[in-house]
Amino acid sequence: MIELSLSGKDINALARKISEQSYFHESLPETLETDYAAQAIAPGWPDRIGDASKCFEAVWDEQRRLAVYPGLTVEVTLPLPPDPETIIAWLGELDFELASFSTLYREWQAIDPDYIPPGFTNRHRLHGAFAAIKGAGHRRLVSDRWLDYCPIKLTRRGDLSFVQFHDLKADAATSLQQAKPGHIALSSEPQGGFIKDGYLLRHDFNGVLEERRGVLKVTVLGRAVSPREMLDACVVRGDVKGKRVNNVGFVFLDETEIGDHLHQLWLRGLECWTIRDGRELRLDDAYAPPPPTPPAWAR
């Protein structure tokens, strides 16, 4: 059995597509609710999905549940094995953008009571064993290369990116330790690369806009650029104060201060510059790091 949440451009259409699957179509649900009020159970029940303004929920048994939160997510419980290939095949038929799967181990909370896994927010399940991104959902990442360098096991199928956070044969304690770094990487935490809805900027970017390319250049001297500032810079890309900002470039006036900034900026699709012989020199466009190394459990 797996439990997950999905979101996309048309939540109701996504829910109806799922309701047509044999898991939910071959028998009537045992309970049916619209906006938390019980409804009569009859054939054609999926036609009432659009009637809900808060929540629509159909439950068959503890292994089959379909809930719709309009404009936010579809929550699904179904009797699929926690097998990546099986899940990928199931996801491939659906028009969604983000999917987050609950943990396979209820013991995680007892093992580390202080750890609350991050997630995609907006009523999505907190990250557990898997996550998936499809099509336009990739625009929520800081760059196209981000997933390749995350501490996860990544499977790509067309426009679908399937993420596995831990060894499925590991015990609860081991799986939790393996999953934590990937959970953070696929979140809006400072070290993460996912841009959530309603993200609030912590930094003001006072720089010079290179009008021709639409790049906002920010000078750096005597300080480090934090992961949070980099994530903020990724969010800034777009329209800022009526002007188009295609990207943000950090100009290090002292080249010796660049260090790992080059890799971290490149990873997020941000520009890294320095000054040599009195002229600006871009570094990230010629940067070629070694191929990413997956975590030991994913090799």
Q: How far is CA 238 from CA 31, 134, 274, in A?
A: 45, 22, 24
Instruction: Name the token pair of 43.
Output: 């054939």
**What pLDDT shows up at residue 243?**
76
pTM: 0.94
241: pLDDT strictly greater than 90: no
Per-residue buried b or exposed e for 281-299, using 16+ beta carbons within 10 Å of the residue's own CB = eebbeeeeeeeeeebebbe
Given a contact cutoff of 8 angstroms between Cβ atoms, the answer to whether 7 and 122 are in contact is yes
pLDDT in tens, 148-158: 999 999 999 99
The average pLDDT across 196-222 equals 93
Encoding tokens for residue 153? 């096991």
Look at 200 and 7; give whichever has higher pLDDT.
Answer: 7
**pLDDT for residue 53:** 95
Structure tokens at 225: 């650029």
pLDDT band with cut points at 50, 70 and 90 for residue 239: low
pLDDT number for residue 62: 84
The phi-psi region of residue 297 (left if phi > 0; otherwise alpha if psi is between -120 and 50; otherwise beta) is alpha
- Read out DSSP for 4-68? EEEE-S-HHHHHHHHHTSHHHHSS--SEEEETTEE----TTGGGGGGG-SS-EEEEEETTEEEEE
Query: What does DSSP say about strands 215-220 and 247-252: parallel, antiparallel, or unpaired?
Result: parallel
Question: Which residue ranges make up each domain of the chain?
Answer: 2-185, 208-286
Per residue in 4-45, pLDDT (tens digit) is 999 999 999 999 999 999 989 889 999 999 999 999 999 999
| Mean pLDDT in residue range 107-134 | 97
The Cβ of residue 106 has, within 10 Å, a number of other Cβ atoms equal to: 9
Q: Is the pLDDT of residue 256 over 70?
A: yes
pLDDT value at position 60?
95
pLDDT for 245 beyond 80: yes
Q: What is the pLDDT of residue 238?
A: 81
